[in-house]
Chains A and B, each alone.
Chain A
Amino acid sequence: MQHSRQFLLDSYRSMATIRRFEDRVHDEFATGKIPGFVHLYAGEEASAVGVCSHLDDRDVIASTHRGHGHCIAKGCDVVAMMKEIYGRRDGACGGKGGSMHIADLSRGMLGANGIVGGGPPLICGAALTAKYLKTGGVAVAFVGDGGSNQGTTLESYNLAKVWNLPVIFVVEDNGYAESTASAWSVGGSQLGRAKGFGMPGVEVDGFDFFAVHDAAREPIERARNGGGPSLMHVRLTRFYGHFEGDAMTYRAQGEVTKLRAGHDSLQIFRGKVTQAGVLSGEDLDVVEADVAKLIDDAVSRSEAAAMPTEADLLTDVYVRY
């Protein structure tokens, strides 16, 4: 294993933070403390972290309605995120965005997005900025299997190719667009679509951080070096429903239990690094304990934080009006 201890610890921390964050949001949502619509990323951690561990602040990502994981992987502040999900005044977006609209442009996070397929056109624009200003940055559009069927996404494949933009389209195929199986809803294949637009494409096991990280290296380097767009088809699953409250009656009996037992990206990571002898179980336990404290702290600070007031209702619509 060629990775440094620090890289592995950081990557595991990021994945564990996503898992713990989502598990906790799931629990707190069930108590009624969290308002609105929430879509959880638990189970998909290896994808966000595997890709984003190649990126830095020059690089921009656009996410989906299932955006918490991408935000954390791109370095958004976890406490500000939790406060946002609680609708608090000092949340990441002042309580005006919520779960589906967390963004931090200073970290190159162009937003979770409530519109399926909303992100790919925007990411073409972020890539155009990087190309035009010669920042060396790349732009990554995370899209679900559902979003892969939107015209916006397919138009963006074409535009990115025609303009030779530094874009990586990461299709996170968790098997279901809401309740509809991707096996049913996707005509042709993701790689076939990439080929159709003249883009290199790669399929990857999204349960394995190392597989994703390795597969992402070449597309990202190609984009940085002016080689244009690529597509990654990441196969993975989600442990929770489409939204919180989804009874998942469309899934097979015992499906999630089986996936949690055999396809848990954190367990797979743990197995690989301990087997290679680079990190010990104790090293990872320390990270887990730290993360648990961070999330506990985020929740208690969110619960204690002030709500926005009437004075906040009319602000932030325009820079000037």
Chain B
Amino acid sequence: MAKKTYRQAINEAIAQEMRRDHRVIVMGEDNAGGAGAPGESDAWGGVLGVTKGLQPEFGPDRVLDTPISESAFIGAAAGAAATGLRPVAELMFVDFMGVCFDQIFNQAAKFRYMFGGKAVTPLVVRTMYGAGLRAASQHSQCLYPIFTHIPGLKVVLPSTPYEAKGLMIQAIRDDDPVIFFEHKALYDETGDVPDESYTIPFGEANLTREGGDVTIVAFGRMVGFANQAADELKREGIGVTVIDPRTTSPLDTETILDSVGETGRLVVVDEAHPRCSMAADIARLVAEEAFGALKSPIRTITPPHTPVPFSPALEDLYIPSAVHIRDVARSLVKA
């Protein structure tokens, strides 16, 4: 199977869907790049190159550069979705949700409900998230718990190139608004990605490791770290199951509860801030639904309740690490 980067996997998914369905359009700041400028066209293909090559293939009517006006174009994507297109709009960094959130959570997310089930809004908002690029407090946040909180939205966090392609194709074909979170530190990660089109259903978790002593639920970039921790613990004789839920809304609660039922121990790893996070949400779920199965307290691993720091010395301390995950999981089993 071909090795591709996370970035290539997303690009390929969008291109394949654009070839399949003429209603799929792409829009965002610099998604082609160079609009109206004297140099090259398709100059950037998105600020980190994810949409490179789409405008040369599909033309400027289907790959639209936008002014830096997130409220207007994210709202336009919602309006276009409600009237018959299938837009894939890019909110460059999820940190910019503050300037357009109304169009996502009060408009797109609620059309179907407010209009009594008569609206269909097949919108995908692609957005970059996560720490690790020394991008500081306004370009590094996770924020997916905020979107997960909103009924009407689906929230997707691919952890590998394979997941990225299959989940993106599903997102474009999905009839509900989907927020598609791309971790900026994963764009250059490579993995096996089939050339052909395929979908990964929402709400179905992936077990990336299986073992009987402890369950680790991890999201996005944290899945890779949890896998590293699990591999080290396996060498020590500790069996770890790693669950990648892949989507936070819908959430595959069954797989999580089944696994905790078997292991009796739970660690949740979430790169979002600790309060009202996925870590808190899953801890609540297991405490309510599987309390009797627990052999030890639930442990959550998150960054501290601070903004994301700039200095590499601080940012490295901020982000949860494989070593920390290993140590916490081990301490539960050895307790």
Is A284 an interface residue when CB atoms closer than 8 A count as contact?
A: no
Q: Which of B20-67 contact A (CB under 8 A)?
A: 25, 61-62, 64, 66-67
What are the residues of chain A within 8 A of B103 when measuring CB–CB?
118, 121-122, 152
Closest-by-CB residue of A relative to B68 is A155
- Closest A residue to B123 by beta carbon equals A125
Q: How far is the CA of A106 from the CA of B120 in the complex (A)?
A: 12
Question: Bound state CA distance, A147 and B75, in angstroms?
Answer: 15
In the complex, chain B residues whose CB is within 8 Å of the CB of A96: 113-116
Please give, as numbers and ranges, the residues of chain B lying within 8 Å of A106 by CB-CB distance.
Answer: 118
Is A124's beta carbon under 8 Å from chain B? yes
The answer to the question of A317 belonging to the interface, with a C-beta cut-off of 8 Å to chain B, is yes
> Whole-angstrom distance from the CB of A107 to the nearest CB of chain B?
11
- The yes or no answer to B144 lying at the interface (CB within 8 A) is no
Check A105–B79 contact: CB distance below 8 A.
Answer: no
* Whole-angstrom distance between the Cβ of B314 and the nearest chain A Cβ: 34
Q: Counting CB contacts under 8 A, is A204 at the interface? A: no
Q: Which label, helix, strand, loop or mixed, suits the secondary structure of the A interface? A: mixed
Evaluate contact between A93 and B115: CB separation under 8 angstroms. Answer: yes
How close is B156's CB to chain A, nearest CB, in angstroms?
13
Closest residue of chain A to B106 (Cβ to Cβ) is: A115
Interface mask (B92-134 → A, CB under 8 Å = 1, otherwise 0): 0000000000110011001111111111100000000000000
Give complex CA distance A316, B119 in Å. 9
User: When each residue 134-158 of chain A gets 1 if its CB lies under 8 Å from chain B and 0 otherwise, what string results?
Assistant: 0000010000000000011001101
Q: List the A side residues contacting B111 at CB < 8 Å.
A: 103, 111
Which residue of A159, A315, A317 contacts B69 across the interface (Cβ within 8 Å)? A159
Q: Are the CB atoms of A158 and B116 closer together than 8 Å?
A: no
On chain A, the residues within 8 Å of B69 by CB distance are 155, 158-159
Interface pick from B80-88, B219-227, B237-245, B278-286: B80-88
In the complex, are the beta carbons of A122 and B76 less than 8 A apart?
Answer: yes
The answer to whether A125 touches B80, judged by C-beta atoms less than 8 angstroms apart, is: yes
Residue B210, interface by CB 8 Å: no
Residues of B within 8 A of A227 (CB): none
Flag if A159 contacts B85 (CB, 8 Å). Answer: no
For residue A237, give the distance in angstroms from its CB to the closest CB of chain B.
Answer: 28
Q: What residues of chain B lie closer than 8 Å to A123, measured between beta carbons?
A: 79
How far, in Å, is B149 (CB) from chain A's closest CB? 13
Q: Please, how many angstroms separate the alpha-carbon atoms of A127 and B95 in the complex?
A: 28
Which residues of chain B come closer than 8 Å to A316, judged between CB atoms?
Answer: 112-113, 116-117
Report which B residues bind A (CB closer than 8 A): 25, 61-62, 64, 66-67, 69, 71-85, 87, 102-103, 106-107, 110-120, 151-152, 154, 174-176, 203, 250
Interface residues in chain A, defined as those with a beta carbon under 8 Å from any beta carbon in chain B: 60, 62, 91-97, 101, 103-106, 110-111, 113-115, 118, 120-126, 128-130, 132-133, 139, 151-152, 155-156, 158-159, 162-163, 315-321
New contact pairs (9) apart from A124-B73, A128-B80, A156-B72, CB-CB < 8 Å: A103-B111, A103-B114, A103-B119, A126-B79, A132-B62, A152-B72, A155-B71, A158-B72, A319-B176
19 examples of A-B residue contacts, CB within 8 angstroms: A62-B79, A94-B116, A96-B116, A101-B110, A101-B114, A103-B111, A111-B115, A118-B102, A118-B106, A121-B74, A122-B75, A123-B79, A124-B75, A125-B75, A125-B81, A129-B79, A132-B80, A155-B72, A159-B73
